[in-house]
A and B are shown apart, each in its own frame.
Chain A
Amino acid sequence: MPEKHQPELKRSVTPWGSFSWGYSDVGADIFVGLGLVLGAAAGASNVAFLFAGIVYVCIGLAYTELAATYPVAGGGQYFVMRGLGDFLGFIAGWAVLLDFTIDVTLFAWSCVDYLSEVVPVLLNPIHPWIHFIAVFGLIAGLCLLNVLGVRESTTFNGVVSALDVISETSILFFGFLFAFRPELLVHTMTTQWPSTFNLMLGASYAIISFVGLESISQAAQETQRPASVIPRTSIALILTILIYALAYSNLALGMVPWHQVPPDAMGHAQTLWQWLGNNDNNGKAVALLAKEVPYFGALAALYVPILGAILLLISSNSGVFGSSRIAYAMANAKLLPSIFQRVNRRFRTPAISIISFCAIAVVELVFAAWPSLDPGAAAFYAKFFHGEGGIGFLGDLYAFGAATSYSFVFLALIALRMNDPLSPRKFRIPFNIPMTYKGERVLFPVIGVLGFMGILSILVFTILTHDLGRIAGPAWLILGFIIFVIYRRNKGLPVFGSAPHDWRHEQIGILRDAGELELMDEYLASLKAREPARATEAR
């Protein structure tokens, strides 16, 4: 939230910078999601991606409208706090924090998987400790770099994103051109259609291919002309990722591989999508698929694992600084203890926050890797959690955190449309029902309701289909609730109510600081038309 007496963040993020900021987070998701979805939803993987994709479009539109209307750091947590109050704002922010910590572990894990394509020893089933130590090393390294204040530059992010867009477009272009057979796609879909349970499982995994739009909102306060730029970068990101997810899933189901697919562990022949979705390969499915694209695969085999690993590492890093950033914003809003705002004197970074959330990421890593490291744990997981673990466990929690926070974001969108109709919306989600609420003409967002139902169904799928996720996810929320209650009571603040906020005054400051002067004039004019004296005072 802007404070007049504090120096403002410099608005230096350009449209491409804003896009690449989101892309380096969301773009990496398909590298993880594709294999998981293929393994779960089999011949209906494209349908799972389509369902999650439709929900994702609704989420994207909601984020686009909210980030353009309220261009401040904090993202989903801020929107929910503003629309639904402090308590639900905390829950949404806490769920996002879960996602960011999972982000750190999941993408570091997958980064090692991709690197294993060039350094095979990293993924040796006989020595699972090597993989564990490599992932742990990456997390510790990112933690150290962030504590020291070293970050990849926006330029580096931009270049990697550009390379990846070119690379993924090329993989898909040559894949469809040389190897796609529509009849094979139809055959796979008809003969390999999964059970309803597996389709729900696949849909809940598919949503993780679309998590990360939050990053664009997080960067809103540093983006040039956010109300104009963010809608474009968000929509472009939504479309690009959606195109890739649908194209990859359809290609994987209908592609004739360049080489013979190796048999499974039992020696049975397997199809391309089965090979990509099995437990050994689901962490590096995109690299393997790229290698199987005729002709282009020879080149792709050389660079896709490296490019994928870099993108995944950037995404993992965005989890490290994203979690400390959102914890800072939450502490600033008095939703978390001020310790998360504390900046290390020597390094001038929120070291406590960074180390705390990296430690949580390591705990998550231990939970995920335990069955592969200890046969006793494997038996325990098999008995109580249907053998869930590894990247699947991380995917569960990732889907749980995202679905929870997105559910609240939809509710916040609806609440803000009703309670704050005067804030100018440079981008407004289409399909609205005009109505009168508390004497004001408001536009009720139909897509907000549809999106809420969609994401809620994914949350239900996650809870129903993930044995470990349905325990760990709610446990995280309960832990957060306990911290919140203790903190708010100590501070004499209401637990379920909200601390007093002057949102109108704040909104004027937000628009002025964002350089959206025309929108500020519009807002003041609306206020003046309704309450002349108050508008003058606010100015």
Chain B
Amino acid sequence: MIAVNPIGAVIALALVLAVVATLWWMLHPPISKVQEIARDAETELERMVGSIIVVFSENIASQHMMALAAKLAKGERSELLAIYVVSVPYSLPPDAEMTDEERRALDALGAAQAIAAKADINLRTETVKARSTKQAVLDIAKRERANLIVLGSFREGKYTGAPLSRTIEEIAAEAKCDVIIGVEGKHGNLLVDQLGFEQVEQGEKAP
């Protein structure tokens, strides 16, 4: 029969505690200023991209930003929502049929789904009819408690040389969360080519 000696038991426990405490201390070295900055930036990014909304509309071209949002969402495991705002003019009733515009919404959101599938993330899509694109985006951001709104540039921006439309500027100015606006340079493509977005979009349109 084995008897436990109290002194032996105390030494045994002290030994385990000493080894564990030593290794724990070793594995938690103080962080440097550079690492502190990096850690803060990562925390900020996590907070920033918890819930992301990508906005499309007749005037806002965001296809290229969808690819970026997908990458962000995948890395940070964010919730991703793509919305297409169909602007209904005041000359029509709010529930008027906007066939062409709704068709474009289907194309844009279908492409967004394809990008999300390729990046292996879940994407919710929503088409919204509204009088004001800005107000619709701000309302949805509030409803979704979004941390980040991702916008592309003004569709006509490439021709006019002014990539930010008034709507984009107003959203950025009034949003209660962070806003990323992706402006393509004169010959820029951002991430579109990398993720094969154009092919996807064309593939959707092909039939």
Contacts and interface: CB of A to CB of B under 8 A. Distances in A.
Interface string B27-57: 1011011110000000000000000000000
User: Which 3 pairs, one residue from A and one from B, show the smallest C-beta to C-beta distance?
Assistant: A236-B26, A180-B8, A176-B12
Contact of A515 (B7, B8, B27, B34): B34
Contacts of A233: 26
Interface of A is mostly: helix
A172 B20 CA distance: 14
B2 interface: yes
B25 A236 contact: yes
Contacts of A239: 18, 22
A182 B11 CA distance: 11
A165 interface: yes
A243 B19 CA distance: 8
Interface string A162-183: 0001000100111111111110
Interface string B1-28: 0101101110111011011001101110
A22 B33 CA distance: 27
B29 A19 contact: no
Given A15-B27, A169-B16, A176-B12, A182 B22 contact: no
A243 B18 contact: yes
B5 A518 contact: no
Given A178-B2, A180-B7, A228 B30 contact: yes
Interface of B: 2, 4-5, 7-9, 11-13, 15-16, 18-19, 22-23, 25-27, 29-30, 32-35
- Kindly name the residue among A177, A233, A247 whose own CB sees the greatest number of chain B CB atoms within 10 A: A177
A295 B1 CA distance: 11
A518 B11 CA distance: 42
B8 A181 contact: yes
Nearest to B35: A225
A36 to B, nearest CB: 23
A235 B24 CA distance: 12
6 contacts: A179-B8, A228-B30, A236-B22, A239-B22, A243-B19, A515-B34
A177 B9 contact: yes
B15 A518 contact: no
A399 B32 CA distance: 38
A225 B34 CA distance: 11
A172 B12 contact: yes
A294 B2 contact: yes
Nearest to A166: B19
A16 B15 CA distance: 20
A527 interface: no
A233 B26 CA distance: 6
Contacts of B22: 236, 239-240, 243
Contacts of B5: 180-182
Interface residues of A, number: 33
A517 interface: yes
Nearest to A225: B32
A180 B29 contact: no
Nearest to B10: A176
Given A225-B32, A243-B15, A243-B19, A176 B26 contact: no
Given A165-B23, A181-B8, A240-B22, A172 B15 contact: yes
B4 A517 contact: no
A232 B7 contact: no
Given A225-B29, A225-B35, 9 more contacts: A15-B26, A16-B27, A19-B23, A169-B19, A173-B12, A228-B30, A236-B25, A240-B19, A518-B32
A429 interface: no
A98 to B, nearest CB: 30
- Kindly name the residue among B12, B18, B26 whose own CB sees the greatest number of chain A CB atoms within 10 A: B26
Contacts of A517: 32, 34
A295 B33 CA distance: 50
Contact of A228 (B8, B16, B32): B32
Contacts of A19: 23, 26
Contacts of A515: 32, 34
B12 A229 contact: no
Contact of B23 (A173, A177, A225, A240): A240
B15 A182 contact: no
Contacts of A176: 8-9, 11-12, 15
A232 B32 contact: no
Given A228-B32, A243-B15, A515-B34, A177 B26 contact: no
A213 to B, nearest CB: 14
A180 B12 CA distance: 10
A239 B19 CA distance: 8
A339 B32 CA distance: 40
- Kindly name the residue among B9, B12, B16, B18 whose own CB sees the greatest number of chain A CB atoms within 10 A: B12
B29 A177 contact: no
Interface string A88-111: 000000000000000000000000
Contacts of B12: 172-177, 180
Contacts of B33: 518
Contacts of A243: 15, 18-19, 22
Contacts of B23: 19, 165, 236, 240
Contacts of B30: 228
Contact of B15 (A165, A181, A247): A247
A90 B101 CA distance: 81
A295 B11 CA distance: 18
Contacts of B9: 176-177
Nearest to A14: B27
Contacts of B13: 173
Interface string A510-523: 00000111100000
A178 B13 CA distance: 12
Nearest to A235: B26
Contact of B8 (A15, A16, A177, A225): A177
